[in-house]
């Protein structure tokens, strides 16, 4: 089932732009399909001329391929033998028309469509994969020239590593910058780590506690800084005491806004930055659904990194645990919320900017 709804949103901003967007809704029946109602690890993929979504199914341990209202394929990952990848995947990255990069917290594996491992790379430093509440995911970028890029934590420093698959060598290391709000004496609990995404020869990163977006040119090494404040959140969150306990860190993450990574949509040539609004948790009795209560907002950013609009999405509708991914022509959100109507089917919306 597919439904199209044309909506309009406007914002007073320095561009004077009005953003029109359309919401298309899809349902993939769970009957005869071992699908999930939502995927916290999914990416856009083009295979055999077919544009769709590649998503890791943690229940089957395989990769589901779907688009519109149907599952159109499955990549079965080998469970034992020389091509088996231990543990669960936390990152997926299409390498080419017939290869995929996968990451399991320890190593990157390049596999073909039959699940055979063609290359393996074990990073020297821990790859960052704790940026999205409990549904941890990692990101990486792939250059057709054979360069794999990924963010790591080296002591108190965050870096971006570029690794050449052909020579099996790290060819460049970039140190990531902090926003001005961040100083050595400030602490943000579980929101400390950077969010990183890739778009051609750029690495785009931000921090969950600050509205600043950094754009790193992977060729020149130069970094641009853009301040993109939301009208629903402060430019930077208040800080925590370093001596505070993990329970305090958890409550801090619940009650405050949360900026997510920036996604690129190639067809309209824009960027999307999801953000969860803050919430008053003082009277909440059920901590299991606090994140589901928070409202999701999409910031629409033009190709020059100017904020055009902010789209407030309906509450208690979407999966707030990294339940989304970017497509070339839209932004996909899974309709799977603990406070919404229960269902077994795969239901999702695609927001398309006009």
Q: What is the DSSP letter of 106?
A: S
User: Hey, what are 198's tokens?
Assistant: 């890739």
Confidence of residue 113 (pLDDT cuts 50, 70, 90): confident
Distance CA 215, CA 305 (A): 9
- pTM for this prediction: 0.92
Report the range of poorest mean pLDDT among 9-18, 181-190, 268-277, 325-334.
Answer: 9-18
Q: What's the pLDDT score for residue 32? A: 67
Reported in sequence order, the residue ranges of 108-191 that DSSP labels E, i.e. its strands, are 108-112, 117-121, 141-143, 147-154, 157-164, 169-175
Mean pLDDT over 260-266 rounds to 96
Per-residue confidence (pLDDT) for residue 309, from 0 to 100: 96
Burial 311-329 (b: 16+ CB within 10 A, else e): beeeeebbbbbbbbbbbee
User: With 90 as the cut, is the pLDDT of residue 103 above it?
Assistant: yes
Average pLDDT estimate for 67-84:
89
Label residue 184 by pLDDT band (50, 70, 90). Answer: confident
β-strands 346-353, 18-28 pairing: antiparallel
Confidence of residue 42 (pLDDT cuts 50, 70, 90): very high
What tokens were used for 233? 């959140």
Question: Residue 169, exposed/middle/buried by CB under 10 A (0-12, 13-18, 19+)?
Answer: exposed
Q: So what's the pLDDT on residue 286?
A: 83
pLDDT (mean) for 230-237: 96
**Confidence band, pLDDT 50/70/90 cuts, at residue 164:** very high
């Amino acid at each position: 089932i597919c439904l199209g709804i044309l909506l309009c949103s406007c914002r007073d901003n320095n561009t004077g732009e009005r953003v029109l967007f359309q919401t298309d809704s899809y349902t993939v029946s769970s009957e005869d399909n071992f699908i999930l109602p939502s995927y916290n690890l999914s990416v856009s993929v083009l295979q055999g001329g077919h544009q769709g979504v590649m998503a890791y199914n943690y229940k089957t341990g395989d990769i589901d391929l779907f688009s519109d209202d149907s599952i159109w394929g499955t990549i079965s990952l080998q469970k034992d033998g020389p091509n088996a990848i231990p543990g669960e995947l936390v990152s997926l990255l299409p390498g080419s028309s017939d290869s995929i990069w996968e990451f399991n917290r320890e190593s990157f594996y390049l596999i073909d469509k039959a699940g055979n491992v063609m290359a393996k790379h074990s990073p020297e430093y821990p790859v960052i994969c704790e940026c999205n509440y409990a549904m941890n995911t990692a990101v990486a970028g792939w250059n057709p020239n054979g360069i794999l890029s990924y963010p790591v934590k080296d002591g108190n420093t965050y870096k971006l590593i570029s690794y050449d698959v052909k020579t099996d060598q790290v060819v460049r290391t970039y140190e990531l910058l902090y926003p001005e709000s961040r100083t050595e004496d400030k602490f943000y609990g579980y929101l400390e780590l950077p969010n990183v995404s890739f778009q051609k020869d750029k690495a785009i990163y931000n921090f969950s506690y600050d509205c600043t977006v950094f754009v790193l040119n992977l060729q020149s090494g130069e970094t641009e800084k853009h301040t993109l404040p939301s009208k629903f959140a402060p430019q930077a969150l208040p800080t925590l005491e370093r001596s505070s306990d993990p329970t305090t860190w958890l409550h801090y993450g619940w009650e405050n806004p949360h900026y997510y990574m920036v996604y690129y949509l190639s067809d309209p040539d824009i960027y999307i930055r999801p953000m969860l609004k803050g919430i008053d948790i003082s009277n909440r009795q059920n901590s299991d659904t606090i994140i589901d209560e928070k409202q999701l907002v999409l910031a629409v950013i033009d190709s020059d990194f100017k904020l055009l609009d902010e789209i407030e999405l309906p509450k208690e509708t979407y999966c707030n645990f990294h339940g989304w991914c970017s497509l070339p022509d839209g932004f996909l959100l899974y309709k799977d919320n603990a406070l919404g109507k229960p269902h077994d089917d795969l239901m999702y919306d695609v927001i398309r900017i006009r």
